[in-house]
Amino acid sequence: MAGPRRGAGNVSRARRDVIVVGGGPAGSTAAALLAEAGHDVLLLERERFPRFHVGESLLPIDIPLLERLGVRLAEGPYRYKRGADFLDEQTGDFARYNFADGLDGTPDHAFQVERSLFDAALLDAARTRGADVRMAEPVRSVAVAPEVVRVESAGGVHEARYLVDASGQSALLAKQWGGVAPIPEFGRAAAFRHYRGVAPQVADELGREGNIQVLMLPDGWAWVIPLHGDTVSIGVVRRRALRPEELDREVADSPHLSRITAGARPGDAHRISNFSYRNTEPSGARYCCVGDAACFLDPVFSSGVALAMLGAETAVGLLSPALAARSEDEPSLMKPWRGHMDVIYRSFSALIHRFYHTRMIDNLFFAERPDPAIRRGLITVLSGDVWRDDNPFQQLLERSRRGERLDRSQAR
């Protein structure tokens, strides 16, 4: 692995307990919880917040952790989200999945968030808990040695006992040692933008449930996310390369999307591609990668922020006592974390695979007479609550990974 360049600035004053690279949901959560536990944490973020970021629809499973971090979305400029709507303009199919209809014990709501505001609030939670947060300080390289971690950033060279790589799609460590394994069978490219000033009746209509809408398109899908006030986020995801103009064509061609955006002011168009991959070595002696730096599946079921925050929380649960016991250099420290996170990665991968490669949406999501127990279980998985043993849908999902056809068992 490449080490820091020589003469690249001064080594900072003290060896930190932990350096966190990246101040997105994964990095802020890790830094906040570590600092709260009394560890000396330095967080280095490349950008100056607030900054635009994709990934605006949260899941109910995020709610208890947000409460633990003291981030009260109900009191801020965020949209209460009751669930998800799936629609197909070609066939007229429509299905609403409200979280309140899931199994008991899972929170019944989530939020839609403008990430510039949400990420700044999370980063504040890290700062107020005592993390040393430095913005506009990109990390250039990292060297993980047996005795110490050295990080070279725009501000100099920093040392720590442990590194948390939360650099998102930049996947700092994985790229440094060639450990990025693409997941070619999921979504490949997305184009998206915000629309401000949508008509009051449209804002009212979308805001009533606050649901994300997933609109099936002939060769992909689109999201509609009602943000706070009169702002809506719209994006198109395809399994092939996508030019920003295609977003506008898709919006113009769709009666539903053109009605939502009529008279609204389009913001800047953004584009991202090849976002589905996993890091082949997400943890080892003195480091772990959390959030997108560990893996990103696909945006269709809005699982990214939940995976990032829960992954960080679980990693800290192991790291914090190890720092206290000075055993953080143990290479297998994060093994239980990998096992725990594997449950949620497996569940969402199974759903996403079926979304792109089977008729699951027609046969299960749009089913006219769904089995009530299966429907409740599906909603619970869509909420991100996958660590329970009373969910018949999840058991079916697990079994179907071993060869049984999920969608056939749910045929209309």
Q: Under the rule (CB under 6 A), what is the footprint of ligand FAD? A: 21-27, 44-47, 53-58, 138-139, 166-170, 172, 190, 235, 272, 275, 291-293, 296, 299, 302, 304-306, 308
Instruction: Tell me the pairing of strands 83-88 and 212-217.
Output: parallel
- Is residue 202 helix, strand or coil? helix
CB of 392 to ligand FAD, least distance (A): 26
Q: Which has the closest alpha carbon to 286: 108, 125, 163?
A: 163
Residue 164 contacts residue 315 (beta carbons within 8 Å): yes
CA-CA distance, 148 to 318, in Å (whole number)? 19
CB of 409 to ligand FAD, least distance (A): 28
Q: Which of 37, 307 has the CB closer to ligand FAD?
A: 307
CA-CA distance, 292 to 24, in Å (whole number)? 10
Q: Which of 188, 367 has the CB closer to ligand FAD?
A: 188
Q: Which of 22, 210 has the CB closer to ligand FAD?
A: 22
Q: Which of 143, 199 has the CB closer to ligand FAD?
A: 143
CA-CA distance, 256 to 56, in Å (whole number)? 20
CB of 352 to ligand FAD, least distance (A): 12
Q: Which has the closest alpha carbon to 309: 323, 287, 292?
A: 292
CB of 246 to ligand FAD, least distance (A): 14
Q: Which of 137, 328 has the CB closer to ligand FAD?
A: 137
**Strands (DSSP E) found in 208-279:** 212-217, 220-226, 231-238, 265-266, 270-273, 277-279
CB of 166 to ligand FAD, least distance (A): 5
Q: Which of 126, 360 has the CB closer to ligand FAD?
A: 126
CB of 324 to ligand FAD, least distance (A): 25
Q: Which of 176, 409 has the CB closer to ligand FAD?
A: 176
Note if the bond before 321 is cis, omega within 30 degrees.
no
Instruction: Tell me the pairing of strands 156-165 and 189-196.
Output: unpaired
Q: Which of 53, 354 has the CB closer to ligand FAD?
A: 53
In sequence order, the 6+-apart residues with CB closer than 8 A to the CB of 104 are none
CA 269 vs CA 54, 55, 193, 196, 247: distances in Å: 11, 15, 5, 13, 9
CB of 326 to ligand FAD, least distance (A): 27
CB of 245 to ligand FAD, least distance (A): 17
